[in-house]
A and B are shown apart, each in its own frame.
Chain A
Amino acid sequence: MDDSLDNWFIREILVHERALMRYLLRSWYRRDEIHDLRQDIYVRVYEAAAKARPAMPKSFMFTTARHLMTDRLRRARVVSIDAVGDLDALNVLIDEVSPERRLSARQELKQLTEAFDRLPDRCREVVWLRRVEELPQKEVALRMGIGEKTVEKQVAKGMRLIAEYFYGGGHTHRSRERAAADAEHGDGHGQQQAD
């Protein structure tokens, strides 16, 4: 349990998820694997950082991403020509990973607001009552006339979707998200350039 490592990870790695997602989407030929790929990248970065913190976290994350994709391609039996072509481009892409520009608090709030507005109705209402009005879950259940278990489920869904939209910019519009979220709002403007 290393809190400072956890904080480092949130502060130095997670903030670049949007850029990472763009990179993965551009470089990886199978969209349905991206969620999994992202997890693997995070696991590797986290475990490496547990031994020694990389001096340049963002580059380190992208380098890790590249290695992982290369490994996967080597292991894959069938390799699409596209993928190989892309992989050659990967080195270039990393260099052009945009220079650091932290979002201002205001831009962040804006993105957060957009993420919030894309939540399905009921989920959105639960998040509002819980986070903005700070009502306990029990109270939210009473207010909305639904069960406490339902509120808890909506909270879980809310945080998954907010993470997806806010960190990842909502690049992952896929059927599985629909399975998890019974509605998908917005027109996918998550493609906006954040950095």
Chain B
Amino acid sequence: MASSRQIELIASAWLARRDGAEWTAHDQLQLDAWLQESTAHRVAYLRLDAAWRQSDRLKALGAGVPAGAVPERGAWGMAPLPESRATPSESGTDGEPSAPARVAAARHLSALSPATRKLPKSRPRRLLRYATAGFALVVLASLAWGWRHYAAVDQASYRTAIGGLQDVPLPDGSVITLSSDSRILVTLSRSERHIDLQQGEAFFKVAKDPGRPFVVSAGDRRAIAVGTRYDVRRDAAELRVIVTQGVVRLESDNGPGGRRRPSTLLPAGSIALASDAGVVVNSGSVQQAEEFLSWRSGFLSFHDTPLASAAAEFNRYNARKIVIGDASIGSLRVGGNFRWSNAETFVRLLELGFPVRAVHGKDVIVLKSR
């Protein structure tokens, strides 16, 4: 019986070989046999494999480092790790996940990523980097074009490109976080703070001002608050309002044929979906509601989410769309936490964990069943 250290050495030798280019089916068979031999082999292998896959996240340190140059130890203060100097002297602080850090799929996946995965022989070129440069914020401070009924103090429109995320601070102290591919028109008057959500999604941190209601309108519906935090998202067919603090009133214009539609009060923890059919409110914990808003820190979280919906989420943030090629796989359930800038990784994990194969096109990734 080999010692635990010998087993570790053998396991690492296997993994290193598999990491090379010369891996054959025969090798795989031999490895499988070795893994079957004893649980001790298997746990040693799993441990090293997981650690090696974790090291994938070191890519975050590669941003801005010229190819072929290995930075000095502890040189990370200069490397664009915007959130912290990763030097041993620093104490870790809890904070938002770092912008470039990749999600450790192995740790969070509930349904993906088999441990015995084959490393691709040649990786596709560098995944989409979240490029702040590709992000366009257009501010059109419109000139006073005519007299308005209310004295508009301030009117400006903001928009983000796909993959962009932007905080818009307002003069009243409120902050709007604009999601990818979204557009708003802000009109501040003395009697009202009016935000027209023309497209996409935004999260509102509203400064308290009872005298000036904060109104977010989308089509014929309005979500009104005084001082609170909530998120409004507009899709072709429905409007989604998520409240994480305080109370929001959801109002609608009269429906077709002049039917009055009642307004709905949404307390914190509500997830409301408004469509032509009416408003459905899901009341849960604030924590659950917050989960839907992890996009603000660059993540998407899925819990037992149908693949079709997960793909749609990714598509909000990426120009290269994930297309479900076969209806049969749209209902597969997936889980995990992903950077939304990392659709490629998501797809790769799908291929590993599910009977799915991806066909990479120029601006689409088509998922087909295997």
Binding site for B on A (CB under 8 A): 1, 3, 6-7, 9-11, 14-15, 17, 35-36, 38-40, 42-43, 46-47, 103-114, 116-117, 124-125, 127-134, 136-138, 143, 148, 151-153, 155-160, 162-163, 166-167, 176, 180, 185-186, 189
Query: B220 near A: Cβ within 8 Å?
Result: no
B16 touches A35 (CB 8 A): no
Min CB–CB distance B125 → chain A (angstroms): 9
Query: B70 near A: Cβ within 8 Å?
Result: yes
Chain A residues lying within 8 Å of B353, measured Cβ to Cβ, are 3
Chain B residues lying within 8 Å of A112, measured Cβ to Cβ, are 54-55, 57-58
Q: How far is the CA of A33 from the CA of B17 in the complex (A)?
A: 28
Which single member of A11, A39, A143, A156 contacts B106 (CB below 8 Å)? A11
Looking at B8, B21, B65, the one whose CB has the most chain A CB atoms below 10 A away is B8
Query: B128 near A: Cβ within 8 Å?
Result: no
A189 touches B107 (CB 8 A): no
B4 touches A35 (CB 8 A): yes
| With A156-B12, A157-B12, A167-B47: A1-B19 Cβ-Cβ less than 8 Å | no
| With A6-B116, A10-B106, A131-B58: A35-B5 Cβ-Cβ less than 8 Å | yes
Chain A residues lying within 8 Å of B280, measured Cβ to Cβ, are none
Q: How far is the CA of A81 from the CA of B280 in the complex (A)?
A: 67
Query: B109 near A: Cβ within 8 Å?
Result: yes
CB-CB nearest in chain B for A179: B5
Task: Provide 19 A-B residue pairs closer than 8 Å at the C-beta atoms, listed in order of the A residue.
Answer: A1-B35, A1-B116, A3-B353, A10-B46, A11-B108, A35-B8, A104-B92, A105-B103, A106-B92, A107-B94, A108-B54, A108-B104, A111-B92, A113-B61, A132-B59, A138-B20, A158-B52, A159-B48, A159-B51
Chain A residues lying within 8 Å of B295, measured Cβ to Cβ, are none
CB-CB nearest in chain A for B12: A156
Query: B341 near A: Cβ within 8 Å?
Result: no
A interface, over-half SS: helix
A108 touches B4 (CB 8 A): no
| With A42-B47, A131-B56, A137-B21: A110-B74 Cβ-Cβ less than 8 Å | no
Having A10-B106, A129-B70, one finds 11 other A-B pairs with CB under 8 Å, namely A6-B46, A9-B43, A36-B5, A104-B97, A105-B98, A106-B84, A109-B81, A116-B61, A159-B12, A159-B55, A163-B48
Chain B residues lying within 8 Å of A157, measured Cβ to Cβ, are 12
Which single member of A39, A104, A137 contacts B20 (CB below 8 Å)? A137
Chain B residues lying within 8 Å of A125, measured Cβ to Cβ, are 70
Within 8 A of A (CB), among B100-145: 101, 103-104, 106-109, 113-116, 121-123, 126
How many chain B residues sit at the interface, stated as a range, is: 35 or more
A116 touches B58 (CB 8 A): yes
Query: B88 near A: Cβ within 8 Å?
Result: yes
Q: How far is the CA of A171 from the CA of B98 in the complex (A)?
A: 26
Chain B residues lying within 8 Å of A36, measured Cβ to Cβ, are 3-5
A43 touches B50 (CB 8 A): no
Chain B residues lying within 8 Å of A113, measured Cβ to Cβ, are 58, 61, 76, 86
| With A114-B86, A137-B20, A155-B16: A109-B57 Cβ-Cβ less than 8 Å | yes
A10 touches B115 (CB 8 A): yes
Chain B residues lying within 8 Å of A114, measured Cβ to Cβ, are 86, 88
4 shortest interchain CB distances as A-B pairs: A105-B97, A163-B51, A6-B115, A156-B16
Looking at B16, B52, B74, B114, the one whose CB has the most chain A CB atoms below 10 A away is B16
Min CB–CB distance A42 → chain B (angstroms): 4
CB-CB nearest in chain B for A194: B92
Chain B residues lying within 8 Å of A46, measured Cβ to Cβ, are 39, 42-43
Q: How far is the CA of A185 from the CA of B114 in the complex (A)?
A: 33
Query: B62 near A: Cβ within 8 Å?
Result: yes
A-facing mask of B26-69, CB < 8 A → 1, else 0? 00000010011011101110111111101111111110010110
Query: B90 near A: Cβ within 8 Å?
Result: yes
CB-CB nearest in chain B for A187: B88
